[in-house]
Amino acid sequence: MDLDHLQKYRENNRIEAKKATGGLPGSLWETYSAFANTSGGVILLGVEEKKDKTLNPIFLPDPEKLVSEFWATIANRQKISANILKADDVQIAEAGGKQIIVISVPRAGRLDKPVCIGMNPFTDSYRRNGEGDYHCTPDEVRSMLRDQADESQDMRPLETMGLEAFSVASVADYREAYDGAAVKAAGEPIKTASQTDMPTKAASMIEAASGKTAGADLTAEEIDFLISIGGAARTEDGEIRPTRAGLLMLGDERYIIREFPNYVLDYRENSESDDKNSWTCRFTSADGDWSGNLYDFYQKVGKRMTDPVTGEPDEEAKEAIMAALANALVHSDYYGRRGIIVRRWTGEVVIDNPGGLRMTPDEAIEGGVSDPRNAMLIRLFNGIGVGARAGTGVPLIFSLWEKRGWQTPRLHESYEPERTHIRMAMKKRDDKYKKVTIKSDSQKAAITEFLWENDFGRTADFAELLKVGPTRVKKLVHELESEGIVTARGGNRNRVYILTKKEH
């Protein structure tokens, strides 16, 4: 921040100003918790927000004493659950000839979340949105607590579910793909199923009217295979049960939703990007005419990603998009809400999944050390050659898009519920669109430009973009709605805005 020109900043998703003239304000700790549990931010003490939303430094009595009190409080585990700050994250600085305190709060690691300001994370944890700090919902707290575990969520066997939960068709198809990937890795020619001596038992069992084969008996060889890849495991009482990863990857949807009640996979396709609610092709895990598991969803989406007429997207782009899908599938929080949604229009693919990133977006783009939410699912996808090669996933997408001069992909998180979104537009960065005419100031033009480049936007996005407060953003968005330029979707904190129509 340019502290000599504080007036050009506004409170937003990453900046909070507090006077602190009477000592450390109690709301300071709510903001500390909120920044730590969201994307980090800067707290300014000795700064006031005026009626016009500008930030201005004021006289701060004894800042050294306040800093000492701050460190004493944050070290008290009865008051603050975790101190995630380094010594240089709290500094006394000069702004406009006055001393202020600048507290730089990083995004907390998953082992520290939820950072709370009392002993009960369900009542004392906060997050940040464009409107300020808010109490975390119970679902958000449970998600953060699940992420604290050192053991991957998907490795444990399910005590109450038997092998009947597997789709025999999926197991057979996955096994063929697994063997083929192993042969390819060894540098030998790959034989098709018709060229091998593979058993025909599974194939004959697939001929069910519904297309679903859960409940059919697996052979001893198939069971041994599932155990060897981590899809099944023995419990302490000696019973062989599906692991959570095995159930998600190769199970039947009727059994998957028993363990993951909010589980849904949803693919939507339309050739027109300005039609957000009408789909020329759509399938979901609940359709009933296929297994509904991750493996079959990945295969079905893959078949839709290359248009036989236009060739769009091409094989290189398809590989990157499918890497993004695999990344979403293995990093999802399957106990979270709303499931996985893949939306495709001509020249554009958007993937949303439940659960936030376990690293910062910048670290994910750079390809930092992975911190998987579902390590066993990664192994199961690696087993069929998906994601096994270094440099795949998010870094592959960004590097390919940069090489081709396409619009930079957008990777971001949203909250209530916690979700991760990636938008991949296969359009040149210098593409010129016929913009909507705006008879107003440049701030509304900037919001409109943002929505041309992104699938949707939130008030927090606009506040950060314009460096203005939530009141100003609400006024701008209301005017854009009244003019028919933007349309709201969702309610309350889940509300997003889209352009009413994009004209090419």
Give yes or no for a contact between 156 and 167, defined as CB atoms under 8 angstroms apart. Answer: no
- Higher-pLDDT residue of 238, 247: 247
Q: What is the largest CA-CA distance in the chain?
A: 83
More reliable by pLDDT, 51 or 62: 62
Angle between helices 27-37 and 63-74 (to 10 degrees): 60
- DSSP secondary structure code for residue 413 in this structure: E
- Give the model confidence (pLDDT) of 184-229 as tens digits: 766 654 443 333 333 333 333 333 333 444 445 788 999 999 999 9
Task: Judge if the upstream peptide bond of residue 417 is cis by omega within 30 degrees of 0.
Answer: yes
pLDDT at 117: 94
Phi–psi pair at 240, nearest 5 degrees: -95, 120
> Are 221 and 299 within 8 A, CB to CB?
no
pLDDT band, residue 347 (cuts 50/70/90): confident
| Structure token digits, residue 376 | 């066993």
Domain 442-499 - what CATH class? mainly alpha
Give percent above pLDDT 90 in the chain. Answer: 43
Instruction: Tell me the β-bridge partners of 340.
Output: 265
For 130-169, give the DSSP string: TTEEEEPPHHHHHHHHHHT-SS-TT-SB-TT--GGGB-HH
Residues contacting 485, CB < 8 A, separation 6+: 436, 438, 444, 448, 499, 500
pLDDT value, residue 291: 96
Residue 497, pLDDT > 80, answer yes
Residues of the chain with pLDDT > 70, as a percent, come to 84
Closest CA to 435 of 485, 388, 385: 485
User: Is 334:263 a contact under the CB 8 Å cutoff?
Assistant: yes
> Is the separation of the CB atoms in 92 and 101 below 8 Å?
yes
Q: Partners of 102 in the beta sheet? A: 44, 91
Q: Spell out a b/e string for 92-118, using b for 16 or more CB atoms within 10 Å of the CB, else e.
A: eeebeebbbbbbbbebbebebbbbbbe
* Backbone angles phi and psi of 182, in degrees to 5: -65, -40
User: Please, are residues 342 and 301 in contact by the beta-carbon 8 Å criterion?
Assistant: yes
Where do the CATH 3.30.950.30 domains begin and end in the chain? 3-136
- The answer to whether residues 135 and 125 touch, using CB atoms and an 8 Å cutoff, is yes
Is the pLDDT confidence value at 282 over 50? Answer: yes
Burial class (CB in 10 A: 0-12, 13-18, 19+), 482: exposed
**Residue pair 358/307 in contact by the 8 Å Cβ criterion:** no
Of 389 and 127, the structure prediction assigns the larger pLDDT to 127
Query: Regarding beta strands 41-45 and 15-18, do their DSSP bridges make them parallel or antiparallel, or are they unpaired?
Result: parallel
Of 360 and 94, the one with more pLDDT: 94
Dihedral sign of CA atoms 262, 147, 298, 211 in order: negative
Q: Which long-range contacts (CB under 8 A, 24 or more apart) does 490-497 make?
A: 493/129, 493/131, 493/134, 493/415, 493/416, 494/416, 495/458, 495/459, 496/456, 496/457, 496/458, 497/451, 497/456, 497/457, 497/458, 497/459
pLDDT for 180 beyond 50: yes
Burial call 461-476: b when 16+ CB within 10 Å, e when fewer:
bbbbbbebbbebbeeb
Average the pLDDT over each of 71-80, 134-143, 258-267, 308-317 and give the range with the smallest value: 308-317
pLDDT, residue 491, reads 65
Topology, domain 3-136:
3.30.950
Nearest-angstrom CA–CA distance, 129 and 35: 9
Q: Report whether 316 contacts 377 (CB < 8 A).
A: no
Q: CATH 3.30.565.60 in the chain, residues? A: 163-425
What pLDDT score does 197 carry?
Answer: 36
**The pLDDT value given to residue 350:** 92
Q: How far apart are CA 274 and CA 259, in angstroms?
A: 37
Ranges in the chain annotated CATH 1.10.10.10:
442-499
**H/E element, 295:** helix 294-304
pLDDT at residue 273, rounded to an integer: 54
| Encoded tokens for 79 | 């008051």
Please give the pLDDT value at position 131: 62
Q: Is 90 helix (H, G, I), strand (E, B) or coil?
A: strand
DSSP 87: G
pLDDT for the residue numbered 194: 33
Q: Does domain 163-425 have CATH number 3.30.565.60?
A: yes
Confidence band of 389 (pLDDT split at 50, 70, 90): low
Name the average pLDDT for the chain: 83
Q: How far apart are CA 458 and CA 494, in angstroms?
A: 9
Using DSSP bridges, classify how beta strands 348-354 and 340-345 pair: parallel, antiparallel or unpaired: antiparallel
